[in-house]
Amino acid sequence: MTPTLELSHLVKRFAPGLPPVVDDLSLSAQAGELLTLLGPSGCGKTTTLRLIAGLERPDGGSIRIAGRELTEPFVPPERRGVGLVFQDYALFPHLNVLGNVLFGLRHLPRAERLPRARETLALVGLTIFETRMPHQLSGGQQQRVALARALAPRPALLLLDEPFSNLDAQLRYSTRQEVRSILRRSGTTAILVTHDQEEALAFSDRLVLMRGGRAEQSGTPQEVYAWPRTAFVANFLGRSNLLGGTADRFMARTILGILPLAEAASGPVLVSVRPEHLAFTDDPAGTPVTIVAREFRGHDATYTVHLSGAVGGQELVIHDSGSPVRAEGDQVRVQVTQPARVVR
């Protein structure tokens, strides 16, 4: 099936001589898919979104939406069938909720506009607010109006640029869930840009982790979390303990002893051990450590430990949900409970 969005070897540079901000980026999104571009500040996420929207012109590569090539010849933003939702909602302050949604429907025959606007307001659960002005709504409600305005023209593709980052933690969580379920119900294909790994894990069907304008790794959130291919991915998506070691097939010798590996390797390796795959143990074969910091979070605790006796002590992070809750200064033993992943 033709993907809804296909980027192929996309390149964008803002100044000659400087490295490209988007560098040979290829990715695709299938119909109905929620795809997230995740990465640190400055990695080129927003520029990628602006290229897709037609707000920037690429220096190389191609962009297709539903099989239609948009870069050569260049198709202007209003003819791309793309909806946009930004961090700051960008609602018209002098128009009420209904007026804001109607604004995006000016191209429709007059008789179709009002029913379409109302149908979309119902989809986002804002029917009873249609005569309110934007300033009379909460941040989450305003973002749902912005979503309705973008969805009303039934775009082939919806682009969301950090849409939840102006909301406080509680509202961010509920708005994210609502938006996800609205997009699912309407079968919308959407690209979300965020630097928030928790948001990417919770929201996406698939995510692309970007670094320096390139796709470092892509896959379902579960795949990328479970199989980080690089140290960067292991630390950007969740936390990780990175240990040097020497591998021989499915085993590696490390400062935590001989660890099983999830895949065969040989020679010097770097392995990733997730904090939840380290556990406290009474087994004398466990590695002795000292707890140097603890963050209790109710359902679990995060511990920072130093290997006892190690010079310059390697620091490890452990997530543990058991009791008793350990204290700073405690001398304990730890063991690895899952095969470690080999990363580059």
Ligand X SMILES: Nc1ncnc2c1ncn2[C@@H]1O[C@H](COP(=O)(O)OP(=O)(O)OP(=O)(O)O)[C@@H](O)[C@H]1O
Residues 190-249 that bind ligand X (CB under 6 A): 195
39 vs 58, beta carbon nearer ligand X: 39
Measure the N-to-C terminal CA separation of the chain; round to a whole number of Å: 34
To ligand X, the closest distance from the beta carbon of 14 in angstroms equals 3
Cβ closest to ligand X, residue 63 vs residue 97: 63
**In the complex, minimum distance from the CB of residue 171 to ligand X, in angstroms, rounded to a whole number:** 20
- Is there binding between residue 163 and ligand X (CB under 6 A)? no
- Tell me the closest approach of the beta carbon of residue 44 to ligand X, in angstroms: 4
The alpha carbon of 341 is separated from its chain's Cα centroid by a whole number of angstroms, namely: 21
From candidates 2, 9, 14, 295, binder to ligand X by CB under 6 A:
14
Tell me how crowded residue 337 is: count the other CB atoms within 10 A of its CB.
12
Contact call for residues 318 and 334 (beta carbons, < 8 A): yes
Distance CA(184)–CA(204), nearest Å, equals 11
From residue 78, alpha-carbon distances to 29, 32, 253, 314 in Å are 21, 21, 58, 54
Q: CB nearer to ligand X: give 45 or 80.
A: 45
Taking the C-alpha atoms of residue 179 and residue 183, their distance in angstroms, rounded to an integer, is 6
Would you tell me how many other CB atoms lie within 10 Å of the CB of residue 145? 26
Binding footprint of ligand X, residue count (CB under 6 A): 11
Nearer to ligand X, 22 or 252 (CB): 22
Q: Contact 252/245 with Cβ under 8 angstroms?
A: yes
Q: Which residues contact 286 (CB under 8 A, 6 or more apart)?
A: 280, 333, 334, 335
Q: Contact letters (x/-) for ligand X, 312-331, by CB under 6 A?
A: --------------------
Smallest gap from Cβ 213 to ligand X, in A, equals: 7
- 38 versus 98: smaller Cβ distance to ligand X: 38
Nearer to ligand X, 24 or 119 (CB): 24
Q: Does 47 bind ligand X (CB under 6 A)?
A: yes
Residue from 4, 34, 38, 46 in contact with ligand X (CB under 6 A): 46
Q: How far apart are CA 331 and CA 306, in angstroms?
A: 10
3-state SS, one letter per residue, for 14-72: CCCCCCCCEEEEEEEECCCCEEEEECCCCCCHHHHHHHHHCCCCCCEEEEEECCEECEC
The least distance separating ligand X from the CB of residue 157, rounded to whole angstroms, comes to 18
Looking at the Cβ atoms of 224 and 271, the one nearer to ligand X is 224
Q: Which of residues 16-45 bind ligand X (CB under 6 A)?
A: 21, 39, 41-45
The site for ligand X (CB under 6 A) is made up of 14, 21, 39, 41-47, 195
